[in-house]
Amino acid sequence: MTTARSAAAFKSALKPLDEALAELLGHAVPLAGTETVSTFDADGRVLAEDVVSTLQVPPADNSAMDGYAVRVADVPGAAVALRVSQRIPAGSLAGALEPCTAARIFTGAPIPAGADAVVMQEDCEPLADKEGFIRIRQPPRLAQWIRRAGEDVTRGTTVLSKGERLTPAALGLAASIGMSFLQVARRPRVALFSTGDELVMPGEVAPAQMRPGAIYNANRFFLRALLLRLGCEVSDFGIVPDRREATLDALLSASQAHDVILTSGGVSVGEEDHIKPAVQQLGSLGLWQIAIKPGKPFAYGKVGAAHFIGLPGNPVSSFVTFLVLVRPFLLRLQGGTQLAAKSIAAPAHFIWPRADQRREFLRVRRNAAGGLELFANQSSGVLTSAVWGDGMVDNPAGQTIAHGDTVLFIPFSELL
C-alpha cells in the first residue's frame, strides 16, 4: 500500500470531531427534575426557568457621583455660587429642589424633583466667606451624572434565560431584582474511576519508593475538579485494577445510582484494556477513534440507564477530550443552551510546520504583544503544557501555521 493510500485509510477510519460531538449530544437528553437553591449557592448551575424582573433597576433616578444636584438653568456659566438647601444621603427621601440652590447628594441617592444634573464634588468648592454656599467651577450638562430609573432593568424584562449557566455576575443581577432563590437543573450524578495497574495515588507511596513503571494518578484529580465546576455530584470509585471481573464489578456498581460513568484509560484495544468488552457485556458501546490530537481514543455507550464515557489515559488527551466533548455533553444533560466555547482570532507567534491528518488542539498562552506562544512539548503526556498555557489553538486537520498567521484561540477561561 502506498503512503497516500495508507494516509487515506487512516483518515477514513477516524470520526471527525464535529460529527462525534453531534452524535454524543444526540444522546444527551436533559435530566428530569429541578431544584430550588439559594442564589448564594447557584454559581455554575444551569437555570431551569426564565428569571423575569418584577421591578425596575434602579427604582428611581439617582446620583452616579458624590456632589451637588442642581438645575442646569441655574448654572449658566463658570464660578456660579449657590446656596446648599438640603442634604440627600443614599436611602433617604429627597424634597423638591428650591430654585437657584444646590442639594448636597451622595452616590445612589435619589435625585430631587426639579434637579436635572449632578456636579461632582471635585468641580465645586465651599465659599469661605459665605457659609452654606458653594461655587461651581464648571457649568453642568443636562442629565450629567444621573442614573435614570430602569436604565439597568425594566419591569417585565427577562434578565436571565432558561438554560443559561449562572456566573457570579448573573447571581448579582438576580439579587438586584430581589431573587433570593433560583430554580436550577438537577445536578448530574457522575461516577468517576480510573483503570490501570500502573496507577498510584499520591500519598500512598513516596516518590523515592515508586516501583518501576508506576505513575501517580493525575487524571483523577483534574477530572473530579472539572466535574465539580460543571455542577456535577461526583462519586469517586478510585482506581480499578486491570482485570475483567474488577472492571465489570465497578461498572455495574456505578450504573446503579448514577447518570454518567466517566473513566480514564482502558479504552484502547490492547490486551490489558478491559473497558470495551466489559461495557459491551453489560450494555452497549460505540468506540470512536476521533480525528483529534491529542485524544484519539474515546468511547461512548450505556450501562443500564447510565451513560458511559471513556476517556484516553494520557493526561493531556484526557483533559482535552473532556473539554471538547464531555463538557458540552454534561451541560446539555442540565438543559444548557450555551454549549460551544467562544474562540478568538489571534496571531500565532510561533511556527507549526508539520500538518497533521487530525484536528489539533495546541496548548498556547498569550504574550504581552497580543500574540500566542506555543508550549515547546505538545506530547499528550505533558500536563505542564495545560498549566503553562492559558488556552488552546484549534488547528484544522492538514493545516500548517506560519508566524503571524491568524488562528482560532480558545481560552481555558471559556471552558473551565
The 3-class SS string of 78-133 reads CCEEEEEEEEECCCCCCCCCCCCEEEEECCCCECCCCCCEEEEHHHEEECCCCCCE
CATH of 62-147, one of 1.10.10.10, 2.170.190.11, 2.60.120.260, 1.25.40.10: 2.170.190.11
pLDDT recorded at residue 2? 44
What stretch of H or E contains 381? Answer: none
Pairing of strands 189-195, 260-264: parallel
The structural domains of the chain, with segments of one domain joined by +, span 3-33+187-333, 35-57+155-185, 62-147, 344-414
The DSSP code for 141 is P
Residue type, 215: I
Cis? peptide before 297, omega within 30° of 0: no
Q: Give, rounded to a whole angstrom, the gap between the first and last alpha carbons of the chain.
A: 44
CATH fold group of domain 3-33+187-333:
Molybdenum Cofactor Biosythetic Enzyme; Chain A (3.40.980)
**Across the chain, which distance is largest between two alpha carbons, in Å?**
101
Closest CA to 196 of 245, 261, 266, 253: 266
Identify the CATH number of the domain defined by range 344-414. Answer: 2.40.340.10
- Written as one string, the DSSP assignment of 238-294 is EEEPS-HHHHHHHHHHHHSS-SEEEEES--SSSTT--HHHHHHHHEEEEEEEBSEES
CA-to-CA separations, 336 to 29, 331, 381, in angstroms, rounded: 11, 5, 31
Residue 55: exposed, middle, or buried by beta-carbon count in 10 A (0-12, 13-18, 19+)? middle
Name residues whose C-beta falls within 8 Å of residue 299's C-beta, 6 or more positions apart in sequence.
267, 275, 276, 279, 285, 286, 287, 288, 308, 309, 310
Segments of the chain with pLDDT less than 50:
1-10, 271
Report the predicted TM-score, pTM, of the whole model to 2 decimal places.
0.86
- C-alpha span between 219 and 58 (Å, rounded): 47
- The fold of the 35-57+155-185 domain, in CATH, is Molybdopterin biosynthesis moea protein, domain 2 (3.90.105)
Q: Distance (Å, rounded) from C-alpha 264 to C-alpha 245? A: 18
> Under a CB-based contact definition with an 8 Å cutoff, are residues 288 and 300 in contact?
yes
Cα(332)–Cα(250) distance, rounded to whole angstroms?
Answer: 26
Kindly state the cell numbers that stand for 42: 447557584
CB atoms within 10 A of CB 150: 17
Asked whether the beta carbons of 219 and 315 are under 8 A apart, the reply is: yes
Contacts 24+ apart (CB under 8 A), 301-306: 303/251, 303/252, 303/254, 303/255, 303/261, 303/279, 304/255, 304/256, 305/255, 306/191, 306/254, 306/255, 306/258, 306/259, 306/260, 306/261
